[in-house]
Amino acid sequence: MGNCPYCKQKVSINDVKTETRGVGSKREIMYMCPHCESILGFSRSRYLV
Ligand SMILES: [Zn+2]
């Protein structure tokens, strides 16, 4: 995944914090840096599986 653009620390897909928002078909996953908790991006939940 690369480095966090905010704190410049290494962030991997295994380390990244996720938070689910919304319900049903509008559900999205929010990705957050595990170090500084900045939001790195969003993804539709279906793309994760
Ligand atoms: Zn960070």
pLDDT beyond 80 at 48? no
Number of domains in the chain: 1
Which residues sit with Cβ closer than 5 angstroms to ligand 1, an ion?
4, 6-7, 33, 35-36, 38
pLDDT value of position 1: 63
**Structural domain harbouring 13:** 1-49
| Collapsed DSSP state (helix, strand, coil) of residue 41 | strand
Tens digits of residue pLDDT in 8-46: 999 998 999 999 988 888 888 899 999 999 999 988 866
Note the pLDDT of residue 44.
81
Please state the pTM of the whole predicted model: 0.74
How is the chain classified by DSSP, letter by letter? --B-TTT--B--TTT-EEEEES-GGG-EEEEE-TTT--EEEEEEGGGT-
Computed over every residue of the chain, the mean pLDDT equals 87
Cβ atoms within 10 A of the Cβ of 3, count? 11
41 alpha carbon – ligand 1 mean position (Å): 12
